[in-house]
Amino acid sequence: MPNCSRCGFKLPEGALFCPNCGSPVRRAEERQIAPSESIARPITLGLLGSFLSLTISSLVSFAEVQLYFVPYFIASLIVIYFSGTRGLKDAAIVSMVTYLFTDAIVAGIILGSLYAANQSLASLYMDYGVPTLLDVLMYLISPVTAILAAYIGSKIALKRGEAITYIREEGYGPPLFHGVEDLKGEALKRFK
Question: In terms of C-beta density within 10 A (0-12 exposed, 13-18 middle, 19 or more buried), how is residue 75 classed?
Answer: buried
pLDDT recorded at residue 160: 63
Has residue 174 got a pLDDT over 80? no
Q: Mean pLDDT across the stretch 1-25?
A: 83
> How far is the C-alpha of 192 from the C-alpha of 102, rounded, in Å?
64
Q: Mean pLDDT across the stretch 85-113?
A: 92
- Residues 79 and 94 sit within 8 Å (Cβ to Cβ): yes
The angle at the Cα of 136, spanning 132 to 141, to the nearest 5 degrees, equals 145
pLDDT recorded at residue 168: 64
Q: Mean pLDDT across the stretch 169-188?
A: 56
Q: Mean pLDDT across the stretch 107-127?
A: 85
Every domain of the chain and the residues it spans: 1-30, 39-156
